[in-house]
Structure 1
Amino acid sequence: MDAVTDRASDILWRFAPMIYGPTVLFALGEGAVIPLIPIIAAQLGADVATAALVASALVVGQLCGNIPAGWAVARVGERLTMAFAGVLSIGGVLGMVFAPQLGVFAASVFLIGFCAAAFGLARHSFMTTRVPIAFRARALSLLGGSFRLGMFVGPFIAAGLLALFGDEHAAIWFFGGCLVATILLVLLGPDPERAVDAADSPGPAARPAAFVEDSGESVTGSIPTAERVGVFRTMWRYRRVLSRLGLAAATLSAIRSARQVVLPLWGFSIGLDAGTIALVVGVSGAIDFALFYASGQVMDRFGRLWAALPAMILMGAGFLALAFTHDLVNAAMWFAMFAAVLGVGNGLSSGILLTLGADVAPPADPAPFLGSWRTLTDAGGAISPLLVSAITAVSSLAIATGAVGVIGLVGALAFVRWVPMFVPRARD
């Protein structure tokens, strides 16, 4: 590791509250609210299907917010984008608390998802332009781990608030408090964008030749003076990498999302009670969270494929094998075992989508590209539960689970094909 990387590492650790704090705070509040969205929707008159649709508004909002967030970050910067998104999110929180009808509540959930895209993209863009490539995967794995920490702890906070106050809206008010703290931290704390000198960021020399050819123009200008282009022009200019590596990344997002849907449904379908299902899913989530930094270490030391490929194979094979255990005598044991396998695979994939997006983003102005990249990956995550639901409706949950496994294995082959072409090997 060279002196530049040592300096970047020191600065990242010194400014960790400012760099990772907003992500943790937002994810804590969001994680506390997510399990209660269907319940509050039902209280407003939604049936089961409609409540599920309202819950999906969060993912749809994030999907729709990526491209506008890319535009905002490119124009006004990461800090102001996060502050503005925090203010809009407070509006969404107030809408959720005081919603007089289901439509207003659903719109508020959508708005929060829309703003979540801005938080995610702002820090993603910051890491892309400020962190040297030799330390990039670890920095982005920490960013992914910050989000996972919030989403892991948030539901437990919601459970405590529900037990204390007996009102689901207490978790929404907690989210509002997290947003206020986030805005204050972003606006009043030291600015990490100024602490990390842009001159220490990875330059065009770190880009693979195939990607430079894809851009069609020089990227040798400095970050402050480089030409800024629109989001849709960026999508067209980098269509080659987006249509190849971007789709491979979307398959990873798809099987991650499917894991959150399939595991609870599988436990229910084999006759387990809610407590047992929650325990198995919780253990799987704990394994996932425990491995988030290991993924960054592997990617930085050995290359991106060494983390992406094992993760995809583990999750793809895990889903495929689970599909054959539904009617076995020891179905509960197999369920617990493969849930753990999926947790390991998902943990090893922490930060991969962030890192690959940063690797192939144009170094001069990454935000519009990252908006397109995150739209692709979020689309994979949004479509996957719908695919599981549709296949289950026409056949069975076992076949739907097997189909997810096949998607994972196909995605592994896509990573083998496209990662070496577009992404430079990580430097030791």
Structure 2
Amino acid sequence: MASPPPPTSSAPTGFSLRKIAIPAFGPSLLFGIGEGAILPIVPLTARDLGASVSMAALMVALISIGSLLNNIPASLITMRWGERWAIVVAGIWSGLGMSLCVLTSHLGLFATGCLMVGMSQAVYNLARQSYMTEAVPITYRARALSTLGGVMRIGMFIGPFLAAAAVHAFGLQAAYVIGIIGVLGAAVVGARIPDLPVPPHPAGQDAPATPTLVSTLRDHRRVFLTIGVGVVLVSAVRASRQAVIPLWAEHLALAPAVASLIYGLAGGIDMLVFYPAGKVMDYKGRRWVAVPSMLIMGVAMLLMPLTTGFATLLMAALAIGFGNGIGSGMIMTLGADHSPRHGRAHFLGVWRLMSDIGSSSGPALLSLLAASLSLALGIAATGLIALVAAAVLASSIPTRRTGAGGAHEK
């Protein structure tokens, strides 16, 4: 197994996250706004086109399916064209998909547009992670990637509000205009990202063989079978949390406005803690955030079926939001830590595929358990998965830190 690069002993002089804020984080904010603007509108548009309720839900799922299926092709695109142009292409392709959604009156073409949006999501997410991994010194890596994830979440939070205002003023199709402006804006800003320098080849050494997907799987199989399994479990829990809070609020017969308030407050906590968590990961080590994140979410979900009203559900939801928030960028950081310099896109493609498999299977398992047993048992099972994820991460994440001190923890 190829080991991750050793941590540096001190922060590089002259580097500042603020200096790269606009080119590094600007596209993520705009891309998040663009996607956030259309996500609540997709099922409504599908219904207007004659889709049933289940078919409308499938249109939303197609975005996730498109991302899942395109992770490996995304790695090939990124290796062929480079991170900068992959980001640009992703924004343009997403804009084309949204345009197809808004211009067509055929449900099949609308589904194609949704699939295109998901495909572009895979390319964009992989390219931005690969770029930041290479561009940011390892002593700032967790802060940079946590901020990257946090900024994307902020965009996804802002997008629906902009879309709501546009829909109120101009109708349902205006949400897609907001979305198109957002993703094309991300492409424009992304085009201004400076190209990464090609690392010089050491004199007197043979050039490394061009990595393939198969060689990447073989060389890093131990990482994929240990930390990678933890990533699958983490993603399953994170995706399930989005359904857990509103479903249990409905079970308690809380008004929809109250359920939305609880969900929104949990999301607010989620967005407030990403940078401090990244700083802890840089200075103390990845375990100090990864394990507590899953422990907090697991305990909160185990306790949620015991809640009986607004106050107790709010406490559980806030704990879930806090646990998820401190884990912002965690999966990207772990992937960056273990990705090789040569063939990084292949490695991250597999990494993101495993993450998306977890994101798809988590809500499906929750739905299955809720239908066959009970919603309470389904939520509790999700909490147990979080505790298992914490155990897997605790046993597999290397015990070292990559912060300013750069010392190894043994």
TM-score (norm 2): 0.92
| One-letter amino acid matched to 1:312 | M
2:123 matches 1:118 = yes
Residue 316 of structure 1, CA deviation: 0.5
C-alpha distance in 1 between matches for 2:151 and 2:210: 30
Is contact 1:295-1:351 (8 Å) kept? no
Aligned pair count? Answer: 396
Deviations 1:118-156 (A, max 9, x none): 111111111222222211101111111111111111111
More displaced, 384-393 or 39-48?
A: 39-48
Alignment partner of 1:42 out of 18, 23, 47: 47
Mapping of residues 4-403 of structure 1, within 5 Å = 5-7=12-14, 9-10=15-16, 12-165=17-170, 167-187=171-191, 189-191=192-194, 193=196, 226-325=208-307, 328=308, 331-403=309-381
Change (3 A) 1:418 1:77: same
Residue 198 of structure 1: how far off its partner (Å): 5.5
**1:360 and 1:15 mapped to 2: Cα distance?**
23
Task: Summarize deviations over 1:321-365 as a string: whole Å, max 9, x none.
Answer: 11233xx4xx22221110000011011101100100000111233
Q: Distance in 2 between matches of 1:353 and 1:220?
A: 31
Q: Which amino acid aligns with 1:134?
A: T
Q: Secondary structure at the match of 1:179?
A: helix
Amino acid at match of 2:265: V
Give the residue type in structure 2 aligned to 1:186: G
**Unaligned 5+ residue runs, structure 2?**
1-7, 406-410
Query: Could you give the per-residue CA deviations for residues 348-386 of structure 1, whole angstroms, max 9, x where no partner exists?
Result: 101100100000111233111000001101110111111
CA distance in 1, matches of 2:383, 2:71: 27
> Counterpart of 1:5 in 2: which secondary structure?
coil
Conserved? CA contact 1:289–1:347, under 8 Å: yes
> In 2, Cα distance between the equivalents of 1:86 and 1:221?
39
**Aligned-residue offset at 1:25:** 0.8
Structure 1 residues 123 and 190, CA gap change in structure 2 (3 angstroms): closer
Matched residue type, 1:265: L
Deviation for aligned residue 1:2: 6.3
Distance in 2, matches of 1:85 and 1:105, equals 19
What's the counterpart of residue 203 of structure 1? none
Contact kept? 1:66, 1:118, Cα under 8 Å: yes
Q: 2:196 and 2:169 mapped to 1: Cα distance? A: 40
TM-score of the pair, normalised by structure 1: 0.88
Of 239-248 and 83-92, more deviation after overlay is shown by 83-92
State, as a whole percentage, how many aligned pairs show the same letter: 36
The alpha carbon displacement at 1:193 in A equals 3.0
Please say if residues 67 and 372 of structure 1, whose CA atoms lie closer than 8 Å, have aligned partners that are also in contact.
yes
SS at match of 1:362: coil
Q: CA deviation at 1:190?
A: 4.9
| Cα drift, residue 179 of structure 1 | 2.4
- Paired with 2:173 and 2:84, the residues of 1 have a C-alpha distance of 29
- Worse overlay, 342-351 or 79-88: 79-88
Q: Distance in 1 between matches of 2:208 and 2:96?
A: 35
Q: Residue 212 of structure 2 contacts residue 343 of structure 2 at CA under 8 Å; is this kept in 1?
A: no
Aligned pair 1:419/2:389, yes or no? no
How far 1:394 sits from its partner (Å)? 0.6
Q: Is the 8 A contact 1:128 1:363 kept in 2?
A: no
Cα distance in 2 for partners of 1:154, 1:87 equals 18
Q: How many Å separate the matches in 2 of 1:362 and 1:424?
A: 18
For 2:203 and 2:117, the matched residues in 1 are separated by 36
Shift of 1:250: 1.4
Give the distance between the partners of 1:254 and 1:3, measured in 2 at CA: 36
SS of residue in 1 equivalent to 2:88: helix
Is the deviation greater in 244-253 or in 227-236?
A: 227-236
Give the stretch that moved more between structures: 80-89 or 239-248: 80-89
**Which residue identity is paired with 1:13?**
R
Q: CA RMSD in A?
A: 2.1
**Greater shift in the superposed pair: 301-310 or 74-83:** 74-83
